[in-house]
Amino acid sequence: MNANPIVLSIPIFAVLIILEVVIQWINNRRLYRLNDAVTNISCGITQQVSGVFLKLFGIGIYQLVFEHFAIWQIPTNWYTLIILFVATDFAYYWAHRMSHEINLFWSGHVVHHQSEDYNLSVALRQSSFQVIWTFAFYLPLAVIGFNTIDFALMAALTTLYQFWIHTELIGKLGFLEYILVTPSHHRVHHGRNPKYIDKNHGGAFIWWDMLFGTYQKEEERPTYGVTKPVNSWNPVWANFANFQIMGSELKQIPRFTDKVRYLFYKPGWYPKELGGYQQAPEIDKTSYKKYETKVSKILNGYVLYQFIATLGFTTWFLFNQADLALGPKAGAAALILITTITSGGLFELKNWVWWIEKIRLASVALIGGYLAYTNMVDIWLPIITTGYFLISMVWLFIAQRSLKNA
């Protein structure tokens, strides 16, 4: 059983997202696009699934530092937990800020900013690799003597707090704007407008930004996204796209020392012979258009069906992965990741996606049958997987046929 507060909160996330979708319909606003929302949540799925195998970074190393280098053993009580929550948010501020101000770290964080919409699903759009670059910012807390369980809880609470601030339905909140990070503050943070870039890095408290000079209040409505759009609904590619950009740009930089500077200087830095530092461009709102692809309602419905099924299976996996052996754990994770990739491919009508999707569906049915044949599961699993396979294949055939007719 997984006791991760993030995983335990999945049903709450789902209810609040559905509520926001209903409110947008009532208010006749368009805050959600199906392809964008599915990709956002799929990025969260890939982050949680990959996190099962990346526990060494973060919690594992924190525990080692606590065991061998802690100066004190700070007891757990109500006031030490409050102190730890504030200290964790302070460490988060610097980890988050450096994720914007160091090019290499930005490649681990950029996934969260790629969406050109702003709604609660964006909160779940997380990078699978960010922990590699940011875990070290929390290690001073281990040295001070805050134990690993208390730290993990406070870090999770800091993350959970940030879910509700990813919305356009809540305006400014009066005096709270001077204490807490609010939706207004965080809308600024997600803006790609030059005046909004690299502002409001706090997790729960906005006073860090006010204290260290990175505060910006919300004025005109932000334009969301990044200056180099990923232009893809593939959540796995979203995690690698900026590394690909960095690789191609590194090839253009002749000197080794400048290559190192490029990695650790601010995004936009280039040597003088390549033009020097490049500011974020102003947004031409007359020509700006969000990345969009058009598919039939039948195919949209099919992808939504696969997404809901994948979300259910992922939830089961995250709650039970601790009880699985490495082989089944890796197999389940691979199946989840492949499904998120094919969903993105269907939204983009990629040529390769049709046969890969059929192989994936057949694999699900065969795995269910094999597990029942070897008496590893009850008979209900192959019945469910076979039904899922038949419904999916018929639906996929109809969707593909309708595209050919069109």
pLDDT in tens, 229-238: 999 999 999 9
> Does residue 261 contact residue 269 with C-beta atoms inside 8 Å?
yes
98: part of which helix (H) or strand (E)?
Answer: helix 78-101
- Quote the pLDDT of residue 293: 95
Tokens of 7: 């995983």
pLDDT, mean of residues 372-376: 69
> Does residue 147 contact residue 80 with C-beta atoms inside 8 Å?
no
Which sequence spans correspond to the domains of the chain?
5-212, 297-405
- How far, in Å, CA of 213 to CA of 200, rounded? 9
Average pLDDT, the chain: 93
Radius of gyration of the chain (CA): 23
List, in order, residues 6 or more apart from 137 with CB less than 8 Å away.
Answer: 91, 92, 94, 95, 98
Length of the chain: 406
What b/e readout covers 340-357, taking b as 16+ CB neighbours within 10 angstroms? bbbbbbbbeeeeebbeeb
Question: Which tens digits make up the pLDDT trace of 55-81?
Answer: 777 788 999 999 999 999 999 999 999
Share of the chain above pLDDT 90, in %: 79
Question: Which tens digits make up the pLDDT trace of 134-164?
Answer: 999 999 999 999 999 999 999 999 999 999 9
- Quote the pLDDT of residue 364: 92
Question: Which tens digits make up the pLDDT trace of 333-353?
Answer: 999 999 999 999 999 999 999
Between the alpha carbon of residue 379 and those of residues 308, 315, 362, 374, the distances in Å are 23, 22, 18, 11
Question: Which tens digits make up the pLDDT trace of 244-288?
Answer: 999 999 999 999 999 999 999 999 999 998 888 888 888 887 788
